[in-house]
Structure 1
Amino acid sequence: MHTEHKKLALITGGSRGLGKNMAISLAKQGVDVIFTYHSNQTEAEATQKEIEALGQKAYAYQLDTSNTKSFDEFFTRLTTDLQAKTGQAKFDYLINNAGTALYAPFEQTTEEQFDQAVNIHYKGVFFLTQKALAHLNDNGRIINISSGLARFSFPGSAAYASVKGAIEVLTRYLAKELGSRGITANIVAPGAIATDFGGGHVRDDEQVNKNIASATALGRVGQPDDIGGVVAFLCSDDARWVNGQRIEVSGGMML
């Protein structure tokens, strides 16, 4: 009996925080997961075990998504491994999640900080997606992670938020140009989430936490669990007609 091939997702920055929650949510939906991590191999292995405990396959790879020169080698390694382990070298979903926080007033943002933000959040996403296209199945999905900060403004996020704005425009172009292959492209824009992102800025600073809760219609800060399921939904067949959209997942921040 012919069974439909097992769906496979590639998530950048999938070992912790929101990326890990996305990986777990997809695994619960029966999707196998490839995820990248920047440096913490121990954490990556723990996440891999969690996914496998849900009955799904998990593959972890070290990748610096700001270093575009490393992408060819990454995809060669990945597709060779996949071919050997699964008999097919392609995947179905690309989730560009990897990122770092940058909190700096506009006047004090250095060129080095700016370049790093562009390389991780924009240039890296642009060229990783470009190189992924040869390995992405037709009728696949691309999900780019933006931020509520691309819509509302909090002082200190000028560089970070503006590169997220660039990703939002890029996503619409991806939807337009890849439509002929049946590939959709959408944006998930989380509000403020309590994770270790940015040194736990939202999670651990009580004043920040209170301010965000009071600016949010649902009266609390977000949790990783609030986000992963939305990404999993966008990878489901139910979301097949959602394309070129920005879905903010913020509990109603700054309405």
Structure 2
Amino acid sequence: MKVAIVTGASSGIGRSAAIEIAKRGIGVILTYGNNPHGGLETAAVIQKEGGTAVALPLDVGESGTFAAFRDTVTGVLCDTWLRDTFDYLVNNAGFAQTSLIEDTTEETFDRLMRVLLKGPYFLTQRLLPLMTDGGAIVNTSSNSTATAGLEPGYSAYASMKGGLDVLTRYMAKEFSTRGIRVNSVSPGSTRTRIADDAFTRFPEVIPALAARTALGRVGEPDDIGAMIATLVSDESRWVTAQNIEVSGGYNL
């Protein structure tokens, strides 16, 4: 059985990606941050549907923990799948915090950088020796990096995601010698818990966002999770170094 690691899978896009990947007969190691109940719930959903999943804690903003996490992954691979390698990595964990440039603190900027850019960079570096040749990586970016997605308040967040887009291409170039494909997805407005569950707290913004979207609604986690599952699969075997916007045609 092939195995995928999906970070930030306690809810939203990460949860959907983990479940969609598991539906394809792939084992899943999923991580959670400050929502352990959600992580365990995702694993339970996969297991209920006949899949195999293990939930592990991980703070992608604390790169000093990555060596220990790799050791834990090694043990889980051996105990659960009788393997010492895995096949797919989805760097999805993240958070959003908005403020105008004039109001952004260094603390906010640094936290976004550690979670959204430094985390995927060094977590991938740590896990790479455990990846099989011919595997695949998907990084979750954002359409806030595109001209059509520019909104005041996202300067720091979008800058980190823009860096992730560049990192995706460099990963694709460097890892191609091992046949490892690397792509990113850029969701538009998606109904998740991001930004302190903003859609639940401010439902009045949804109609305006839907009106700016060609397909007439905001995104759902499954819209993005299905694309991530497709990109790691062999169906996308000739796709690498691409950033695919999954936004329903936002600002089209």
Same fold (TM over 0.5): yes
1:3 corresponds to: none
2:51 corresponds to: 56
1:170 corresponds to: 167
- Of 113, 118, 126, the residue aligned with 1:123 is 118
**One-letter amino acid of the counterpart of residue 65, structure 2:** S
1:35 corresponds to: 30
When structure 1 is superposed on structure 2, of 41-50 and 189-198 the one drifting more is: 41-50
Could you say what secondary structure the match of 2:30 adopts? strand
Identity %: 44
1:39-76, CA deviations, whole angstroms, 9 ceiling, x for partnerless residues?
22222221111010121110111010000000000001
- Of 91, 94, 111, the residue aligned with 1:99 is 94
1:254 corresponds to: 251
Could you say what secondary structure the match of 1:81 adopts? helix
Could you say what secondary structure the match of 1:39 adopts? coil
Distance in 1 of aligned mates of 2:197 and 2:218: 13
Could you say what secondary structure the match of 2:68 adopts? helix
- Of 53, 69, 72, the residue aligned with 1:77 is 72
Distance in 1 of aligned mates of 2:209 and 2:184: 22
**One-letter amino acid of the counterpart of residue 71, structure 2:** T
The root-mean-square deviation of aligned C-alpha atoms, in Å, is 1.0
For this pair of structures, how many residues does the alignment match?
250
1:138-175, CA deviations, whole angstroms, 9 ceiling, x for partnerless residues?
00001000001011200110000010000000100111
2:39 corresponds to: 44
- Of 188, 204, 210, the residue aligned with 1:207 is 204
TM-score (norm 1): 0.95
* Structure 1 residues without counterparts, runs of 5 or longer: 1-5
Q: How does 1:9-28 map to 2 (within 5 A)?
A: 9-28=4-23
1:181 corresponds to: 178
**One-letter amino acid of the counterpart of residue 38, structure 1:** G
Distance in 1 of aligned mates of 2:218 and 2:141: 17
Could you say what secondary structure the match of 2:76 adopts? helix
TM-score (norm 2): 0.97
1:186-209, CA deviations, whole angstroms, 9 ceiling, x for partnerless residues?
011100101121122235423321
**Is 1:245 the counterpart of 2:242 in the alignment?**
yes
**One-letter amino acid of the counterpart of residue 114, structure 1:** F
Could you say what secondary structure the match of 1:233 adopts? helix
* Structure 2 residues without counterparts, runs of 5 or longer: none
